[in-house]
Every structure is written in structure tokens, then in C-alpha cells.
Structure 1
Amino acid sequence: MFKDVQFANPDFFWLLLLLPLAALWYFFKRKEQTPSLKISSIKGFSTQGFLPKLKPLLFLLRLLALAAIIVAIARPQTKDVSTRTKTTKGIDIVMAIDVSSSMLARDLKPNRLAALKKVAADFIRKRPNDRIGLVAYAGEGYTKTPITSDKSIVLSSLREITYGQLNDGTAIGMGLATSVNRLKESKAISKIIILLTDGVNNSGFIEPQTAADLAIEYDIKTYTIGLGTNGNALSPVAYNADGSFRYGMRQVEIDEELLKDIAKVTGGKYFRATNNEKLEEIYDEINKLEKTEIEEFKYTRYEEKFRPWILLAGVLLLLEWILRNTLFRSFI
């Protein structure tokens, strides 16, 4: 009966303490409420039967009616809360992903590119209110997915990114410039690029510094991530006769100074990911740094439930009145 019910005026329940007091008063005063006649003997009088013993039922009905009235004035009600959210500050994000052959190195498990795709997918799912685009780059760069709010498209495109779609190499400037090109027309209040690489700039016809200047011009913040362990990593070094890669140990070379400079001049931050766990932590930190402001509106609808209690009290009082003036009339 009281499931999901709350009371607007619960203080009125203190009145229920009066009911036991009323019951005690009735117990001690009930005999005084009926006129008495003292006689020396009741021999010759017939007993009135069992009905007079039920007279306290009338008082009980009054108590129950009073209890129902108290519950009614406490205002039982149910509450239905609906919410609506409004994005007050949207963020447009482009993720620039290095897809050069060195991204197949196995210092991250199962390799750098696969580890990145997994972590990037989790990051995308955590940004339901932002638009996200993908840029892939190696010896050159191209837009894999323009910025969109449809996360299913972005996640599908991310899964499709593999090595071999571009000429090998690491064109950091091309990757950054392509990302800027996707964001320069954006009307979002905040625009950011997450640029990840595991090497040094050795390809492309746009210098990284030039691309960084473009990011500054369009007020685009850039977070840079250097991916790779410290020291040597098991990396592709040659092709086998069947076209597969031959792996060998190779020195990990990341132009950290360049990545730090790009992040600094654009207002971003540089991170170094040496393993899977660190990569996850970096994307979690970026997720916390770049928060979308959400305004939430709550609408509450109350449904009053006091009417059945008033009706119950009325029925009990009516029943008490009918019994008092019919069945128990001779004993009152």
C-alpha cells in the first residue's frame, strides 16, 4: 500500500499517539457512559445476550476513522521525476593516430596500434556529448572520419584503421595539419586534438612547427602522446618472403622535445605512454581535463494519494453512525 509513497506532512503522524490515550480513556470510562440502575438482585431479568459486548466496536470504528484522517492530512503522494540534459559547452575532438609500421611493435600488448585502438574506443564511449573525428597518418595524412556526434560511425572507423593504408613513414606535421583542417570551421567553444605517435617526423611536406602555428591561429588545443617503451622494443625490421613482417629488437626513438613543444604552444599537455596501463591512464586524464558542461533540468510530478484515506474515514464514520442508530440503539 505504501510502496513508492512519501508523505508531504509527516509531522502529523505524531497525532497517532493520541489514539492509544483515547483507547485507555474509553477503557476506564466506558461504564460511566451507560446509565446504571442499582437493584438488590437481577433474578427474574433475562440477560441481554452477546450484542452488548460488541458495543466497543463503535468506538473502535471512530478510532480507525481518526487514524485514516491523520494519514490523509499527512498527504501521502507518489513522485515521478524526469530529467532533461542540455549541453552548454560542447567539445569537438580530433584524434590523430600514427599508423606507421613501427606501430606494430610489441612492447604494448598485442601491439601498439591494437592497444591504442582499444583505449581510444573506451575514450570515445565516455564522450557521449561531444563530436569526434579521426585522422590517420603515416607518410602522409588523411581524414578517416569528419567530426560527428554519431559515435557508432566513429567506433566503426576506428576498428577499420590498420597498417598499410598509407605509405610508410611518420609525417607528424601532416597529421597535425589535417586535424587542424577538420576543426578550423568548428563553432564549438572548445576544440582539441589528441595526436599520438611512436617516432620522429621524417615524412610529409608540412613541418610540425607550421602545423602547430595553424592550431594556435584557430585556437585549437593539442594533447600529444609519445607511445613506446624506454629502450628497445620488438619491432618490424624487414619483410619475410611471404610478405609478413620479420621482427627484431630496435631502439625506440620518439621526438619528445617536438611533442612537448607542440603541446606547450597550443595550450595542451604532453604524455608518455610506455605500456598499456599508462596509455589508459593518459586517456583517462585527458577525459578529466576536457569536461563538457552539462546542465540538467529535473521535473517532478506529484500524485496525491490522500483521497482514498478520506473516503475510508467517511465509510467508517457512516458505519458507526448506522450501527449506533440501529443495531446498538437499545444499548446506548
Structure 2
Amino acid sequence: MNLTGFASPWWFLLLLVVAAVTVGYVLAQRARRRRTMRFSNLELLDRVAPRSQGWPKHVPAALLIVSLLLLTFALAGPTAEQKVPRNRATVMLVIDVSLSMEATDVAPTRIKAAQEAARSFAEGLTPGVNLGLISFAGTATVLVAPTTERGGVVRAIDNLKLAQSTATGEGIFAALQAIEGFSAVVGGAEGPPPARIVLMTDGKQTVPTGDPYDPRGAYTAAQAAKQQQIPVSSISFGTSHGTVDIEGKEIPVEVDDESMREIARLSGGDFYKAATADELKQVYASLGEQIGYETKDADASKPWVALATIMLIGAAGSSLFLGQRLP
């Protein structure tokens, strides 16, 4: 356990009391020895005095002092970094449903693998996170508004339908709008919950054509996300040798890693590459950990209380065993 600090360090003043008890015990032992030596008849003393137990007789006192030290440590409120589930956050899952997702370079197809991984992500996300779903091809559609109810999200993932074109920017803009509307409702005194967009796509933007810095382009949308402090975790899914059959023609659909990396950079988010179904699952699992949990300094006194209790019981037991009395 890596301790990060103490909530009430002033309790350490009790160490002065523990030190006084220790000194008092030592002095009491010396005074007892002096009183014993005043006995004038040493021969009779040797016959009637109990046989010395040596160091074992100090075990109860030592255990008692250790228990006091541990209790003092616990009272000081040690804290440690612990991973705790988030109780408020908003995540918009934005999935590409363009025709290129029919490619079979990822078995059985890109879309089937994406659905399975997204389903696992939704089902495994911690209960306190509000999850929404957007699909995009030539346009973007909000399929499920942010909610803690996972059933609707899973059903929508299972029913994703493919369409023509790839409007990546529209997908991001739709996610930003959904988050803004949801945050306005649930913000409260604490302000809007932290939000993130998880964007999964396999290809380059085709709508609008040309410059991704177009007012509705992917890079412009990523910059807008940055301004709203909503990072985009982009997942580039697929390989460089994917193809799809469109009207009898085999069309190459190479994955566009560079665009996804740039979207993540412009928004202040993270870029992930997944070339297989297993890699995509690992990416989603990693995102689930990042999004669903946060690291906080939490109370770590319980182990010290438990140890102090064990030591106290040991002190009582050893005292009864060695001296037939409690310390």
C-alpha cells in the first residue's frame, strides 16, 4: 500500500503518551528489581521467589506498546490512492456505420467486430456513467441520449445499419450537442459532469469532401471539443488491406490512422489503434477503466486498526499465559 498522506496528523501527538508509557514501564521494572534486592535473606529469596522468565515476560508489554503505536497511526487517518467508480460522468459512443465497415479484413466483418466490442464496453461500464450512442455515415444520428440504463444502448448497437459516406465531423458535432443538452439538465450546483467522446471509425472523412478543417469537418469538430473541454478518444479500426464489394467492384478501404491521431491531438484526447477484433476489445476495456473509475486519496486506516486489534489480543493472551493476569 502506497500511503499519500494523513487526514489528521495531529493525532501523532499521542506518540508522546506512548513514549511516556514505554519509559514508565522501563522505570517500573528497574524499581521492582531494586526492591527485590533489598530482601536481606538471599538464601530464602532464592527459595521463595518465582524463577525469572527472562525476556518472555516483556512480550505482553511489547505487544501492548506496538498496538498503541498502530492505533495512533490509524487515528492520524492514513490515506492512499484507490480506484473508485465514478458517480457522475457522460460518455458519447460515436460509431462509424459507413459501407467500408463491411470489410472482412477484421473477422467476421469490421461492423460485426465493432458491435461486439461496443456491446461489451457498454455492459461493463460502471453504473454511475451516463452513456449515449451516435452512429454516423453521410449524416449523424443520436440513437440513444446519455443514460445510465444500458439496455437501450446495447439494443441500438445490435441494430446498427450501414449507409454511404463518412461524415466524421458531423458525428463529433452531434456528440457535443448531445452532451451540452444533457449537461444543462443534470448540471446542478456541482456543474456539468465530466464528459468524453469515444469515436470509432475506419476511414477518412468523405463528407464534406476535401479539407477536414471545413466548418463541418472532423478537425474543426475536434477543435470545438477542445474548447468545450471534452476530449475525443479516437479508435482507428481496421487494416491497410481492407476491401469492400460495391456494385461488383472491389474497393480498397484502407484505415486512416493519421486523421484519427490528429482528431485526438486537437481535442486533447487519446489515440488508439485496433487492427483486430481482440485489439478493439482491449482498447474498449482500457477505456472502460479510464472512464469508469477515478483515482482518489481514500481512507486507508482499516488495515492499521486490524493490526492494532490483533496486537492487543496478543498482548492479553500472552499476559494470561505467562503471568496468569491481564497486563
Instruction: Return closer, same or farther for 1:278/1:217 CA change in 2, 3 Å cut-off.
Output: same
The residue matched to 1:206 in structure 2 has which SS? coil
After TM superposition, list the pairs within 5 Å mapping 1:124-139 onto structure 2: 124-127=122-125, 128-139=127-138
* Correspondence 1:236 to 2:235: no
| Root mean square deviation, CA, Å | 2.4
- For the 8 Å contact 2:224–2:267, the answer to whether it is kept is no
Query: Structure 2: how far apart are the matches of 1:263 and 1:291?
Result: 19
Query: Structure 1: how far apart are the matches of 2:225 and 2:281?
Result: 25
Query: Structure 2: how far apart are the matches of 1:237 and 1:88?
Result: 44
Query: Structure 1: how far apart are the matches of 2:292 and 2:264?
Result: 18
1:198 partner letter: D
* Correspondence 1:258 to 2:235: no
The residue matched to 1:109 in structure 2 has which SS? coil
- For the 8 Å contact 2:231–2:267, the answer to whether it is kept is yes
- For the 8 Å contact 2:92–2:132, the answer to whether it is kept is yes
Query: Structure 1: how far apart are the matches of 2:104 and 2:85?
Result: 40
Q: Cα distance, 1:87 vs. partner?
A: 6.2
Deviates more, 1:196-205 or 1:115-124: 196-205
Unaligned runs of 5+ in 2: 1-83, 209-214, 300-327
Q: Cα distance, 1:293 vs. partner?
A: 4.5
Instruction: Return closer, same or farther for 1:274/1:88 CA change in 2, 3 Å cut-off.
Output: closer
Quote the residue 2:152 is aligned against.
153
Quote the residue 1:173 is aligned against.
169
Identity of aligned residues (%): 25
Query: Structure 2: how far apart are the matches of 1:197 and 1:254?
Result: 8
**TM-score, with normalisation over the residues of structure 2?**
0.57
After TM superposition, list the pairs within 5 Å mapping 1:55-94 onto structure 2: 89-94=87-92
* Correspondence 1:100 to 2:76: no
Query: Structure 2: how far apart are the matches of 1:102 and 1:215?
Result: 26
* Correspondence 1:195 to 2:194: no
Quote the residue 2:227 is aligned against.
217
Instruction: Return closer, same or farther for 1:148/1:198 CA change in 2, 3 Å cut-off.
Output: same
Query: Structure 2: how far apart are the matches of 1:184 and 1:210?
Result: 17
The residue matched to 1:139 in structure 2 has which SS? coil
Instruction: Return closer, same or farther for 1:88/1:276 CA change in 2, 3 Å cut-off.
Output: closer
Query: Structure 1: how far apart are the matches of 2:249 and 2:94?
Result: 26
Q: Cα distance, 1:294 vs. partner?
A: 9.6
1:182 partner letter: A
1:114 partner letter: K
Query: Structure 2: how far apart are the matches of 1:131 and 1:294?
Result: 19
- For the 8 Å contact 2:244–2:253, the answer to whether it is kept is no
After TM superposition, list the pairs within 5 Å mapping 1:225-304 onto structure 2: 225-230=235-240, 232-238=241-247, 246=248, 248=250, 250-293=251-294
Instruction: Return closer, same or farther for 1:135/1:294 CA change in 2, 3 Å cut-off.
Output: same
Query: Structure 2: how far apart are the matches of 1:283 and 1:130?
Result: 15
Query: Structure 2: how far apart are the matches of 1:88 and 1:108?
Result: 33
Quote the residue 1:56 is aligned against.
none
**TM-score, with normalisation over the residues of structure 1?**
0.56
Query: Structure 1: how far apart are the matches of 2:272 and 2:245?
Result: 24
Q: Cα distance, 1:258 vs. partner?
A: 2.1
- For the 8 Å contact 2:225–2:267, the answer to whether it is kept is yes
2:193 partner letter: I
Which structure would you say has the larger Rg?
A: 1
Between structures 1 and 2, the one with greater strand share: 1
Instruction: Return closer, same or farther for 1:89/1:267 CA change in 2, 3 Å cut-off.
Output: farther
- For the 8 Å contact 2:242–2:254, the answer to whether it is kept is no
Unaligned runs of 5+ in 1: 1-85, 239-245, 298-332
Query: Structure 1: how far apart are the matches of 2:174 and 2:193?
Result: 20
Q: Cα distance, 1:129 vs. partner?
A: 2.2
Q: Cα distance, 1:206 vs. partner?
A: 0.8
Aligned residues: 200
Q: Cα distance, 1:290 vs. partner?
A: 2.0
